[in-house]
Amino acid sequence: MENSLLNPPKIMNEDLSYNKFLWQNRLKEKLSIHKFAKKLNINSFHYRLLEGGYIKPNKKDIKRISDYFEIDFNYYLEGFRGYPEELDNKKYNRLTTLMYHLFTKRPLRITFLIIAIISLISSIVCLTVASNLSPNSMSLQHEKVKELNDRIIEVGDNNFNIYTFSYPIVSKKIDLEDGKQKAIIIESRYDTRYNFIQFSQIYWFDTYRFNIRYSNNRDGIVSWSIAAFNYQTYESESYYLYEVDNGFEALSVDSSVDECIKIFEDNNIHQDFTDLIKERLGLDITFDEYIKYKGEVLDKYLNTNIILGLTAIISILLTGIFLFLFGYSSIYKKNKNTRYSFSHSDELFGIEPLNKPVKKDIRFFPFIPETAMRIFGFAMVFIGSLRAVFYMYNISSYSVENINIANQLYSILLMGMFLIFFINFDIYMRDNRLFRNLLIYPMMFFVLYGLEAFLLSSVNNERSFVSVALDSIAFPNPFASAAYYFFIIVFLFVTPSYINTKKKLIIYRSMAIVPILLIIISYMFNYSNFFFGFEITNYWVKALFLGNRFALSLLAVTYLVSLFFIRLFFKKRFGEKNANRYFNGNKFIFLKNGLACVLILLIWIIEMLAKDNVALNNIGIGQNYFIIILAPLIFFYHPHKNSRRTVLDVTLITIYGLVLTFLYLTAGIIAIISLV
């Protein structure tokens, strides 16, 4: 053999890594992987892993490659040459270059900004109108209902028996058989903008006192709110009773239900209210006419709110999309042919690299491929998404058990997302999907958050879509947090082309503090009563600072920040170019995975210690102790390298979207059918 380690082969480039040497020579011979592997007398699948940099060549591979090229292939396994390099993807580069030329033109950039501003104004107008609209708005009321309200205010007073009401009432007390009594009360709760008439009756029995209030007439079904107090046990019960074709029905198993149904069967409650209106107010409107008018107003109100809410969500999505496109085109307008760099240059930090030699990479490699990890993550996300259906059927049943189930499903959902996205974040940077995710996750947040709000409003008698959307922050959507995490990645691991001085770079890196602070603040706001001694009631403040789960947020933030400083250490040790090769090696992949596992172990210890601590449980600590199951998966995980197969990538994205939204959409369809 003519060549030796002291006289390396002059093929293309002496500084090539072993996998790039094979790749370039295969391209030079214009052969497919299968045909080139056959010429080398190596299994094609095995060769694909070699060229991709997933595995190191064994002794037989080295001999066969050396014999074919008439060189000593060991040369390409020494030092940094033994660490794999990323292989270029010309097709992808042509696509991104086309996008830059399309999106960085000034007229289009201005158009993006104008559409974003119009969409933002539209969303604000829709939300403002919807938040000020109520089924009790004076402008929506029938003339006879307004007349009834005015008459109650005119002749009513605030006193009933020993009670004093805050608003004017008209009432009548009636003695029943066996010394029992009932009271009929009509109350006008009014102000300059709203009109709400409360119809209620009180029944005093031997063992119970029943407070019966008219709730609403939705879809032709009259519902009553029941509050029952047991004199013997001093326990209270509350539920709804519905007037149906074959009598009365209560979606409850409370002990007082049968006795309450008997009250409705023995008393003509509708006629009682009609008689009181005629006797005390002198009006000819009946109670049945009133509930008919209110039902029409409620249906109109809910339909209007659904339209306003959906319009607001679409406007918010358009705002996000076009602000993203505006920002994207603004970042790259100076240099259309160059993508962003994935890390800072050492000269900008004023660090002189030590350029130390590196030891040989280890042969043992992480064996769980990215695709398998993502599929496992899909399964966890699908299981976690069961919470959509769980909310649909259990939102009216408040219990500790239901809360625990919802928390566990939510944690499984977040762990699945962590498996899918955060361990392989460096892959997203390589193939330019990082910025795509900054757009996708806020969009998914608003869409799924809107779906959740719609589901909650569909099972609530009087709450509108928008009011629930603003007031249901207790069910946080994870995609807002995911957007925060990706912004941390952008500021720590991505450097736009215009960051070209040390001062700019330090300021840019420091911007990572902003999403980290938002995560911390949102966690504290979610438990404001514990940290500050008061509840956050402002809708807009709560909407800005959504709740985060302690374990997953701590894991994601500490992992990203720690990894940034570890990468910085190796860049100083080996230099920028050699460090980037080192990052592709098995040593660093195990180090990166091991870092995540150590953090998971520490968080798991905290969670286990806090498992039975009620105070810590109330602020979200001690609820995610099964996070430890992520450790073995993450430790043996191997990120994808080089170019991706478009069909596989699109298929996996489609599967992810389906498993994530399937149950939300299913529950949404059920809700829509129930409304129709």
Q: Mind spelling out the 3-state secondary structure of 458-524?
A: HCCCCCCHHHHHHHCCCCCCCHHHHHHHHHHHHHHHCECCCCCCHHHHHHHHHCCHHHHHHHHHHHH
Q: Is the pLDDT of residue 598 over 90?
A: yes
Confidence of residue 68 (pLDDT cuts 50, 70, 90): very high
Tell me the pLDDT of the chain averaged across its residues.
75
Q: Which residues contact 213 (CB under 8 A, 6 or more apart)?
A: 198, 199, 200, 224, 225, 227
CA 611, CA 493: separation in Å to the nearest integer?
Answer: 35
Q: What is the mean pLDDT of residues 158-167?
A: 65
Q: Which element (helix H / strand E) includes 172? A: strand 163-175
Amino acid 345: pLDDT: 46
Q: Is the pLDDT of residue 52 over 70?
A: yes
Q: Which element (helix H / strand E) includes 165? A: strand 163-175
What's the Rg (C-alpha) of the chain? 33
Amino acid 339: pLDDT: 44
CA 577, CA 81: separation in Å to the nearest integer?
Answer: 12
Pairing type for strands 236-244 and 221-230 reads: antiparallel
Give the tens place of pLDDT for each residue, 432-456: 555 555 555 655 655 555 555 555 5
Q: Is the pLDDT of residue 311 over 70?
A: yes
Among 20-24, 344-348, 408-412, the least confident range: 344-348
CATH of 18-83, one of 1.10.3470, 1.10.357, 3.30.420, 1.10.260: 1.10.260
CA 213, CA 189: separation in Å to the nearest integer?
Answer: 14
Q: Which residues contact 167 (CB under 8 A, 6 or more apart)?
A: 158, 187, 188, 189, 190
- Classify burial at 310, counting beta carbons within 10 Å of its beta carbon; exposed 0-12, middle 13-18, buried 19 or more: middle
- Classify burial at 388, counting beta carbons within 10 Å of its beta carbon; exposed 0-12, middle 13-18, buried 19 or more: buried
Q: What is the mean pLDDT of residues 412-441?
A: 64
Q: What is the DSSP letter of 73?
A: G
Residues of the chain with CATH 1.10.260: 18-83
Tokens of 671: 């809700």
Residue 83's nearest CA partner among 579, 429, 593, 566 is 579
- Classify each residue of 139-157 as buried b or exposed e, where b means 16 or more C-beta atoms within 10 Å of its C-beta: ebbbeebeebbebbeeebe
- 482 vs 15, which has greater pLDDT? 15
pTM (2 decimals)? 0.64
Q: What is the mean pLDDT of residues 29-47?
A: 92
Among 12-16, 184-188, 451-455, 468-472, the least confident range: 468-472
CA 516, CA 485: separation in Å to the nearest integer?
Answer: 8
Give the tens place of pLDDT for each residue, 251-294: 677 788 888 888 888 888 899 999 999 988 888 889 988 888 88
Confidence of residue 558 (pLDDT cuts 50, 70, 90): very high
Residue 19's nearest CA partner among 109, 85, 71, 100 is 85
- Strongest mean pLDDT among 181-190, 332-341, 458-467: 181-190
- 303 vs 607, which has greater pLDDT? 607
Amino acid 43: pLDDT: 93
Q: How far is CA 588 from the centre of its chain?
A: 31
Q: Which element (helix H / strand E) includes 222? A: strand 221-230
Q: Which element (helix H / strand E) includes 65? A: helix 59-69
CB atoms within 10 A of CB 632: 11
Residue 198's nearest CA partner among 149, 236, 263 is 149
Q: Is the pLDDT of residue 63 over 90?
A: yes
CA 656, CA 375: separation in Å to the nearest integer?
Answer: 9
Q: What is the mean pLDDT of residues 567-589?
A: 88
CA 311, CA 314: separation in Å to the nearest integer?
Answer: 5
Q: What is the mean pLDDT of residues 481-509?
A: 80
Q: Is the pLDDT of residue 461 over 50?
A: no
CA 157, CA 243: separation in Å to the nearest integer?
Answer: 31
Q: Is the pLDDT of residue 501 over 60?
A: yes
The dihedrals phi and psi of 638, each to the nearest 5 degrees, come to: -120, 120
Cα 380–Cα 383–Cα 385 angle in degrees, nearest 5: 110
Distances (CA, A) of 400 to 200, 461, 476, 594: 32, 24, 18, 36
Q: Which residues contact 573 (CB under 8 A, 6 or more apart)?
A: 353, 354, 356, 579
Say whether 199 sits in a helix, a strand or coil.
strand
Q: Is the pLDDT of residue 425 over 60?
A: yes
- The beta strands (E) that lie in 540-664 are given as 637-638
Amino acid 7: pLDDT: 43
Q: How far is CA 129 from the centre of its chain?
A: 26
Angle of helix 550-574 relative to helix 586-609, nearest 10 degrees?
A: 150
- 473 vs 613, which has greater pLDDT? 613
- Which string of DSSP letters, residue by residue, matches 175-198? E-GGG-EEEEEEEEEE-SSBEEEE
Q: What is the DSSP letter of 223?
A: E
Give the position of tokens 């403040």.
541
CA 621, CA 602: separation in Å to the nearest integer?
Answer: 13
Give the position of tokens 């979200």.
620
Q: What is the mean pLDDT of residues 124-129?
A: 80
Residue 297's nearest CA partner among 405, 135, 121 is 135
503, 344 in Cβ contact below 8 A? Answer: no
383, 660 in Cβ contact below 8 A? Answer: no
- Classify each residue of 80-114 as buried b or exposed e, where b means 16 or more C-beta atoms within 10 Å of its C-beta: bbbbbbbbeeeeeeeeeeeebeebbeeeebeebbe
Tokens of 219: 């879809």
- Strongest mean pLDDT among 1-10, 138-147, 180-189: 180-189
Q: How far is CA 104 from the centre of its chain?
A: 30
CB atoms within 10 A of CB 673: 9
Q: How far apart are the first and last CA of the chain?
A: 82
CB atoms within 10 A of CB 380: 22
Confidence of residue 124 (pLDDT cuts 50, 70, 90): confident
Confidence of residue 595 (pLDDT cuts 50, 70, 90): very high
61, 21 in Cβ contact below 8 A? Answer: no
Q: Is the pLDDT of residue 541 over 70?
A: no
Given strand 163-175, what is the order of strands in its sheet? 157-160, 163-175, 181-190, 195-204, 208-218, 221-230, 236-244, 247-250
Confidence of residue 340 (pLDDT cuts 50, 70, 90): very low
